[in-house]
Amino acid sequence: MNRLILHIGPHKTGSTYIQRELFNSKEKLLTNNLLYPSTMLEMFGHTGLANSIKTNSLSDFKSEISDINNFSGDVILSSENFFNLDELGIKILEESLEYNDVEIIVFYRQPTIRLLSLWHEYVKSGMTLSYSEFSSRHISKPFMSEELNISIKLNLFLKYFKSGDVRIIDYDESVANKNTLRSFMEAIGRKGLLDESYAVINKRINFYDLEVLRCLHHLSKGGELKGHALRLKYFKNRYIFKEILDKRIFPFLSGNSIPLKIGGSFIDHAMADLMNNEYAFKVSNNGNFEIENILLPSSVWMLNLEMVSEIHGIYTMLVDMD
């Protein structure tokens, strides 16, 4: 019987890397009776499909979905945005895909470190919340947060994909062993089919650049240069104001930063226990949780008028550039 392999992410668990490798190997996969559709894509993943459900435009992909449902072999659909679907969206996705044999693939990453990585990514894209502002609503009620407690969303998928089987992959272990793709292929029963390239995608930028970018996003509200375009322009032209950053702004940020330890918290231990109890999934760390020691700029640095003036100057330069 045909099998649907639904890789739902979530965000910041190596999904883009896996999608790129699957996309680049789609001909080899096809010769092995595995379809990785080259339609409904954004970058390398099937985010177009996930987003069409959110925007009530799934009918735009009627032909593509028909091709998937009629394929004689196994089909892989992959998008982190599947994880972001609400309950109605998951129901619509299930109803559109005519499969009785479904495997739901999800990567488990230490929750508090994943939360930090999510905040980092959102700031890069235009969010202006500080880490404490962003994380507090999750950490205050961790078991009600879908970002910290991924079982909430997994249970919704299993509610509608009633014949579905969940395969959980330890992201932290796969990164440590540099076998993220191999772990994915093994989980879907195709061990050894694809080779690992292990190229890092979406690398973090340093926290001082991130803080400058967060402030630039604040200034960009209501302007034409904002979000992704602002980030690209900042890094493309960073060499122009490198001296201002290195000699004035970054040293000031360094002197007004707070040391934080992320990882190995009661939340990480509690969620690991929950995943073990609900899905018999054991985090492969032998009780040794990864801890990140970071320095995050304190928000009080923005009260310094000299620094605010420097950031305004950088923003004005970026806006005035062609």
Average pLDDT over residues 41-52: 96
State yes or no: pLDDT of 233 exceeds 60. yes
For residue 316, give the H/E element and its range.
helix 305-320
Cis peptide before 10 (omega within 30 of 0): yes
Confidence band of 161 (pLDDT split at 50, 70, 90): very high
Structure-model confidence comparison of residues 197 and 32, the more confident one: 32
Q: Tell the burial category of 277 from Cβ atoms under 10 Å away from its Cβ (0-12, 13-18, 19+).
A: exposed
| Parallel/antiparallel/unpaired status of strands 34-35 and 74-78 | parallel
CA dist., res. 278 & res. 151, Å (int): 8
Would you state the pLDDT for residue 164?
Answer: 80
Query: 200 φ, ψ to 5°?
Result: -75, 125
Domain ranges (residues) in the chain: 3-110+147-187, 207-256+298-320
> Are the beta carbons of 35 and 106 closer than 8 angstroms?
no
Nearest to 294 by CA among 246, 261, 251, 252: 261
CA dist., res. 8 & res. 14, Å (int): 11
Would you state the pLDDT for residue 283?
Answer: 80
Q: What's the mean pLDDT when you consider all of the chain?
A: 93
Q: For 246, which DSSP code? A: I
Nearest to 144 by CA among 132, 131, 153: 153
State yes or no: pLDDT of 228 exceeds 80. yes
Pick the CATH number of 3-110+147-187 from 3.40.50, 1.10.10, 3.30.70, 3.90.25: 3.40.50
Average pLDDT over residues 1-30: 95
Confidence band of 27 (pLDDT split at 50, 70, 90): very high
State yes or no: pLDDT of 186 exceeds 90. yes
Nearest to 284 by CA among 210, 175, 197: 175
State yes or no: pLDDT of 239 exceeds 60. yes
CA dist., res. 128 & res. 157, Å (int): 31
State yes or no: pLDDT of 61 exceeds 70. yes
Q: What does the block give as tokens for 221?
A: 């509200």
State yes or no: pLDDT of 200 exceeds 70. no
Percent of the chain with pLDDT over 70: 97
Q: How many residues are listed for the chain in this entry?
A: 322
| Parallel/antiparallel/unpaired status of strands 164-170 and 292-297 | unpaired
Q: Tell the burial category of 64 from Cβ atoms under 10 Å away from its Cβ (0-12, 13-18, 19+).
A: middle
CA dist., res. 266 & res. 112, Å (int): 10
State yes or no: pLDDT of 170 exceeds 90. yes
